[in-house]
A = this chain, B = another copy of it.
């Protein structure tokens, strides 16, 4: 025995077997509803309107939601509604699973929210079997099946909050982690208010976003220089500092948590939210950065075979992490792949969905380290190169981050090099993309040899007012570009591939969407490849952190992929020295 249910506005008719819930039948037919509380029948997110047919017996919780939220009177929660006869139902938009974009530019990709942290309105006041039942048992009963774990410290707070109420709330809001641990329990219905923090923890810069967990909406973003910079500009110098003096690890940890806490405070202030309302943070950083964030010794990263201490970690208690979000909140570290190829890259692979692309693809993330992942069919291989911070505008005499006033584009107008600055502000310095443009143009105009030698007597390349690149600046770019180029060439040759055989090149990181492909190709930073195959995705580490924050499915997939990627230690390759020296030439790929 089964019944037919017509679903509006879709217009489809589905078959519901006798005794099955409408939610199950809709899922089975690919009509995805928000089953936010895991079909416990308590969150009130999967209401449908019964246009015609029997509405059955709504439960007390359903009736309370209909009244409190002013829903149409013939509404039922689809996870409770078992149609007994043919019916017509309407699914309101609010009950459908939304999709949210992962990138704002570059790659088009949307994910379905499936956050680990969920805020659910539950009704527990009358659910005790008898009056002398313990508070904790009454709360647990409010969750129906799969009772969550409730720590003793929270129980203390709940007891105080319950005692402080002059009249008992009909609803309380549970903040549930992964469906099985209660992070908080507050009076009133504030469901849907969950906040998360996505962090790209870079060697040079760090960026944080405050995100609404249920909608994926980014409420604000903030960035700053990683305060660990004062311990060393690049990964190697910080690892060395921690290796030579293990106490420095604690100092670097304190520095970065203080910096992140300042970003959290800034975001909370600008978005008018409480930092305590953030129940989870996902941190995507390279291996050294996440070791230092956790205060883990970096000695093993200082010497061959450069092994990290962990790849994936269970979520940490926020209080243990030092981040000033909700003290019972969680901090999740995007999994390291291996050695220096860290969570920023696993997050980037998740964000770009590299796994599901057909053919051969190269993923290049240019930051202070240049990380490269080559996908050939089902196989992934990754390597890391020490590019240094030049592409982020650091270690360059007049370099700066991509902020207003930074020269970010350069071209030839008549005989002269002409430049454009971010925001059209007066030129204050040069950022990564401008630097590539300038070097490429200087080569073309014969101001510079392929060997990187500045020919004019002043030994400088002036480009805006008093701003000029020095011989040392050119050397920095040469070394950085050579490192990245060598890495790409070695990975490709290990797979027996030519650059021309690539189906796609994804460029993430420092350059955003601004890099001039022709200029980058002319100095060999990018391989010679059809420009339609090149995609710029900007900060894929941040986008990936957000994807992991918003979706448990993405998180699980990322962890699996990270464990699958093969790693090669470039410095251990016999060819490395030869190709590196060859790559120092500012010239297109052979």
Instruction: Give the B-binding residues of A (Cβ under 8 A).
Output: 130-137, 149-153, 155-156, 159-160, 163, 246, 294-297, 299-300, 305-311, 313-314, 316, 320, 336, 338-339, 567, 569
Question: In the complex the two chains form, what is the Cα distance from A134 to B320 in whole Å?
Answer: 22
CA distance A150 to B309 in the complex (A): 12
User: Closest CB-CB distance, A248 to chain B, in whole Å?
Assistant: 14
9 more A-B residue pairs beyond the given contacts A132-B306, A155-B313, with a C-beta to C-beta distance below 8 A: A131-B305, A134-B310, A137-B311, A150-B313, A151-B320, A152-B316, A155-B294, A156-B295, A160-B246
Most chain B CB atoms below 10 A, which of A130, A296, A320, A336: A296
Residues of chain B within 8 A of A314, CB atoms compared: 149-151
Contact between chains at A305 and B132 (CB < 8 Å): yes
Identify 24 residue pairs between A and B in the complex whose beta-carbon atoms are under 8 Å apart, listed by A's number. Answer: A132-B305, A132-B306, A132-B567, A134-B309, A136-B309, A136-B310, A137-B310, A137-B311, A149-B314, A150-B313, A152-B294, A153-B320, A155-B294, A155-B296, A155-B309, A156-B295, A156-B296, A156-B297, A159-B296, A159-B299, A159-B300, A159-B309, A163-B297, A163-B299
Contact among B132, B135, B137 with A569 in the assembled complex (CB-CB below 8 Å):
B132
Leading 8 A-B pairs by shortest Cβ distance: A136-B310, A132-B305, A131-B305, A132-B307, A159-B297, A135-B309, A134-B308, A134-B311
**Is B569's CB under 8 angstroms from A296's CB?**
no
Contacts of A567 in B (CB 8 A): 132
> What's the Cα separation between A498 and B329 when bound, in Å?
56
Instruction: Please tell me if the beta carbons of B131 and A307 are within 8 angstroms of each other in the complex.
Output: yes
A24 to B299, CA, bound (A): 44
The 8 Å CB contact of A134, one of B246, B294, B336, is B336
Which residue in chain B gives the minimum CB-CB distance to A567?
Answer: B132
Chain B, Cβ-Cβ closest to A296: B156
Query: What chain B residues lie within 8 Å of A134 (beta carbons)?
Result: 307-311, 336, 338
B residues near A320, Cβ cutoff 8 Å: 151-153
Chain B residues contacting A137 (CB-CB under 8 Å) are 310-311
**Chain B residues whose CB sits within 8 angstroms of the CB of A307 once the complex forms:** 131-135
A567 vs B134: C-alpha distance in the bound complex, in angstroms? Answer: 12
Q: Are B310 and A155 in contact (CB under 8 A)?
A: yes
- Alpha-carbon distance between A33 and B155 when the two chains are bound, in angstroms: 41
Q: Is the interface of A mostly helix, strand, loop or mixed?
A: loop
CB atoms of B339 and A132 under 8 A apart: yes
B-chain residues with CB within 8 Å of residue A311 when the two chains form the complex: 134, 136-137
Cβ distance A586 to chain B, nearest Cβ, rounded Å: 33
Shortest Cβ distance from A318 into chain B, in angstroms?
12
Q: Which has the most chain B C-beta neighbours within 10 Å: A149, A152, A159, A336?
A: A152
Cα separation A311 to B130 with both chains bound (whole Å): 14
Considering the complex, give the chain B residue whose CB is closest to the CB of A298.
B159
Query: Min CB distance, A328 to chain B, in Å?
Result: 11
List B contacts of A160 (CB < 8 A): 246, 297
With a cutoff of 8 Å between Cβ atoms, the chain B residues found around residue A313 in the complex are 136, 150, 152, 155
Contacts of A132 in B (CB 8 A): 305-307, 338-339, 567, 569
> Which of chain B's residues have a CB closer than 8 A to the CB of A155?
294, 296, 309-310, 313
Q: How far is the CA of A306 from the CA of B159 in the complex (A)?
A: 14
Give the shortest distance, in Å, between A306 (CB) and chain B (any CB). Answer: 6
Closest residue on chain B to residue A572 by CB atoms: B132
Rounded to whole Å, the gap between the CB of A137 and the closest CB of chain B is: 6
Q: How far is the CA of A152 from the CA of B320 in the complex (A)?
A: 9
Q: Quick one: closest B residue to A293, CB to CB?
A: B152
- Residues in chain B near residue A297, CB distance under 8 A: 156, 159-160, 163
In the complex, A46 Cα to B314 Cα: how many Å?
32
A296 to B156, CA, bound (A): 5
CA distance A155 to B246 in the complex (A): 15
From residue A149, how far is it (CB to closest CB) to chain B in Å?
Answer: 5
Given A137-B310, A149-B314, A310-B137, check contact A294 B131 (CB 8 Å): no
Taking the nearest CB of chain B, how far is it from the CB of A60, in angstroms?
Answer: 22
Nearest CB of chain B from residue A384's CB, rounded to whole Å: 11
Tell me the smallest distance from the CB of A382 to a CB of chain B, in Å.
Answer: 12
CB closest chain-B residue, reference A340: B132
Chain B residues lying within 8 Å of A316, measured Cβ to Cβ, are 151-152
Residues on B with beta carbons closer than 8 Å to the beta carbon of A310: 134-137, 152, 155
A150 to B134, CA, bound (A): 33
Q: Are B149 and A300 in contact (CB under 8 A)?
A: no
Q: Does B305 lie within 8 Å of A152, measured CB to CB?
A: no
Residue of B nearest to A306 (CB): B132
A321 CB to nearest chain B CB (Å): 8
A295 to B156, CA, bound (A): 7
CA distance A299 to B162 in the complex (A): 11
A351 to chain B, nearest CB (A): 23
Report the bound CA distance from A132 to B384 in whole Å: 14
A296 CB contact (under 8 Å) in B152, B299, B336, B339:
B152
Q: Which residues of B contact A308 (CB under 8 A)?
A: 134-135
Please report the C-alpha to C-alpha distance between residue A256 and residue B168 in the assembled complex, in whole angstroms: 33
> Considering only CB atoms, which chain B residue lies closest to A335 in the complex?
B134
Chain B residue at minimum C-beta to C-beta distance from A294? B152
CB distance from A36 to the nearest CB of B (A): 24
Please indicate the chain B residues that have their CB under 8 angstroms from the CB of A152 in the complex: 294, 296, 310, 313, 316, 320
Most buried by B among A149, A297, A311, A336: A297
